[in-house]
Amino acid sequence: MKVFLLLVCFLVAGIVRAQHALVIQSDFGTKDGAVAAMRGIAFGVAPTLSIFDLSQENTPFNIWEAAYRLKQTAEFWPAGTVFMSVVDPGVGTERSSIVLQTQSGHFFVGPDNGTWTLVAEELGIAAVRRIDEKTNRRAGSDKSYTFHGRDIYAYVGARLASGKITYEQVGPLLEPQVVRLPYERAAVAGGVLTGAIPQLDFQYGNVWTNIPDSLFDEIKPAFGDKFLVVILHEGKEAYRGVLPYVRTFGEVPAGAPLLYLNSLLNVSFALNRGSFSQKHGLASGGGWTVRLERAP
């Protein structure tokens, strides 16, 4: 009887324990089989593991975009969630393979190539460990050099998320730092806010800045107030306009421009039911900056 109860206990525990998700990001696209191969490895490690996509459609080789996607989503998953990200133009070269633990209790598995820039800043670095490929690599993968996502990251990510290994068993501790991509910080001085355009809202053409609501609050905005917005590319003016600050798109007529806080509470610009970026020929990333102040 006791044996039986222990068995039940063990079975139940095995199921209940696997309550941390593995969330996968890559630039492999969904027409190919590469993502399914990674899912298969993870499922083979732990059949009760919950496996999700962040996105598999990152722009190929665009590490900055991958970094932004993680910032955009990680905080909405519970502590313990394991993210793996494979945007890895340097696969097989000397960049390290690491697992970052943040102070928020999330884990991030993949190459240390800048991908972790934004989550390291926003969620805080708790520890960094190098993946020990002797103990944490899919059996039989030693002749494969170009698919660490399948052979290492999916394998170790699934083992960590399912509790088959502890964080300590990932590998040796490194200095608590990650490779950081450079970018322009948001700032305020003399009533003028400055910042960058880290990402567009692709699907709708909205323009997202990296100016947070806390900084915006310093110039004491109220809904309905008007702001002068200047967007620059490599220092040259690409857009200039006066936009009303609104709660939500429907407060201006269809086609009209507006300033709002996006879902990450960053200052953003849009047209109601139109594409702000397309209309004005705007993009995001290196060289794109913004300046913002109360309309005169």
Q: How far is it, in rounded angstroms, from Cα 26 to Cα 84?
A: 8
Site map (CB under 8 A) of its own copies, residues 148-167, x = contact: --x-----------------
Least distance in angstroms from the C-beta of 197 to its own copies? 15
* Residue number, 240 or 273, with CB nearest to its own copies: 273
Measured from the CB atom, the residue of 240 and 263 that comes closer to its own copies is 263
CB of 252 to its own copies, least distance (A): 11
User: Does 54 engage in binding with its own copies (CB under 8 A)?
Assistant: yes
Total residues interacting with its own copies, rule: CB under 8 A:
79
Kindly tell me which of 106 and 129 has the beta carbon lying closer to its own copies. 106
Question: Applying CB under 8 A, does 173 fall inside the site for its own copies?
Answer: no
Q: Work out whether 249 is an interface residue with its own copies (CB under 8 A).
A: yes
142 lies in the binding site for its own copies (CB under 8 A): no
Binding piece for its own copies, criterion CB under 8 A, among 85-93, 166-174, 189-197, 277-285: 85-93
Is residue 93 part of the contact set for its own copies (CB under 8 A)?
A: yes
Per CB under 8 A, 34 contacts its own copies: yes
Q: Which is nearer to its own copies, 45 or 292 (CB)?
A: 45
Report if residue 28 touches its own copies, rule: CB under 8 A: yes
Could you tell me which stretch among 114-122, 143-151, 180-188, 288-296 binds its own copies (CB under 8 A)? 143-151
Q: What is the 3-state secondary structure (H, E, C) of the chain?
A: CHHHHHHHHHHHHHHHHCCCCEEEEECCCCCCCHHHHHHHHHHHHCCCCCEEECCCCCCCCCHHHHHHHHHHHHHHCCCCCEEEEECCCCCCCCCCEEEEEECCCCEEEEECCCCCHHHHHHHCEEEEEECCCCCCCCCCCCCCCCCHHHHHHHHHHHHHHCCCCCHHHHCCECCCCCCCCCCCCCEEECCEEEEECCEEECCCCEEEEEEEHHHHHHHCCCCCCEEEEEEEECCEEEEEEEEEECCCHHHCCCCCEEEEECCCCEEEEEECCECHHHHHCCCCCCCEEEEEEECC
The residue type at 75 = E
Residue 250 within binding range of its own copies, rule CB under 8 A: yes
104 near its own copies, rule: CB under 8 A: no
Is 224 a binder of its own copies (CB under 8 A)? no
